[in-house]
Amino acid sequence: MIRNVLMIPVALALAATAAYGQANADTAAIAKTRSAFEKSVAAQDASAIAKLYTADGVEMPPNAPAAKGRPAIEAYHKSFAQQFMNHGFSLAATDTKVLGDTAYEVGTYKQTLMAMKGGTMIDDKGKYLVVLKKDGGAWLIAYAMYNSDLPLPGPPPSKK
C-alpha cells in the first residue's frame, strides 16, 4: 500500500515533466511559425503568408475589414504590397501560452514601409495578438489582430 502511495507523486512528476517537454516543443514550433511569418512578410510573399494560416483563418488588420480564409488573406497582402514596399519587419513575442492544440501569442512588431506613391518612408511599431491551432503537428495562425502604437496622421491642411 505504501509503495502504491509513493508511486503517485513519481507518476505525477513524470507526467508534469512530459507535459513541460511537450510545451517547450510546442513553443519552439510556434517560434518557427513566427519566424516564417517574419520572413514571408519581409519578402512580401502573399502566398507564403496565407499558407501560415488555417484554411479558415482570419486576419484583422488595422483600418481594413477582416480577411477570412487563405484566399482573402493572400489577396489582402497582394494589395498591401502594391501600396507599400517593405524595408524591414520584425516580431518580438512577449507572451506565448499553449493550451492543448490551441495557443495564443502576444507581442510587438516593428516595420519600415515605403509608400509606392510618393516614396514616403513610414517607421511603424505596434502590438499583435494571434491565436494558433495545431494542425497535423504544425502550428498555424487561426486569428491575427494587430495595430500601430503611432497616432493616425492629422487631417490634411485646409485650402483657403
Helix (H) or strand (E) holding 89: strand 84-99
146 neighbors 109 (Cβ within 8 angstroms)? yes
Amino acid at 120: T
pTM: 0.82
**Percent of the chain's residues with pLDDT above 90:** 76
- For 30, counting Cβ atoms within 10 Å of its Cβ (0-12 exposed, 13-18 middle, 19+ buried), the class is buried
Average pLDDT of the chain, as a whole number: 88
Mind listing the pLDDT tens digit for each residue in 25-34?
Answer: 999 999 999 9
> Is position 104 within any domain?
yes
**Residue 156 lies inside a defined structural domain of this protein:** no
Q: Cα(148)–Cα(8) distance, rounded to whole angstroms? A: 50
Read off the pLDDT of residues 88-128 as tens digits, 9 standing for 90 and up.
999 999 999 999 999 999 999 999 999 999 999 999 999 99
Does residue 117 belong to any structural domain of this protein?
yes
Instruction: Give, as one character, the DSSP assignment of residue 64.
Output: S
Q: Is residue 49 part of a domain?
A: yes
Count: domains in the chain: 1
- Domain assignment present for residue 160? The answer is no
Answer yes or no: is 157 within a domain: no
The answer on pLDDT for 3 being more than 90 is no
Domain contains 91:
yes
Residue 26: CB atoms within 10 A of its CB come to 20
Cβ-count burial of 132 within 10 angstroms (0-12 exposed, 13-18 middle, 19+ buried)? buried
Asked whether residue 132 is assigned to any structural domain, the reply reads: yes
Where in the sequence is the domain holding 46, given as residue range(s)?
A: 2-148
Q: What is the dihedral of CA 138, 132, 66, 79, to 10 degrees?
A: -40
Which among 121, 125, 116, 46 has a CA at the least distance from the CA of 90?
125
Q: What pLDDT, on a 0 to 100 scale, did the predictor assign at position 158? A: 77
User: What is the pLDDT at residue 28?
Assistant: 94
CATH number, domain at 25?
3.10.450.50
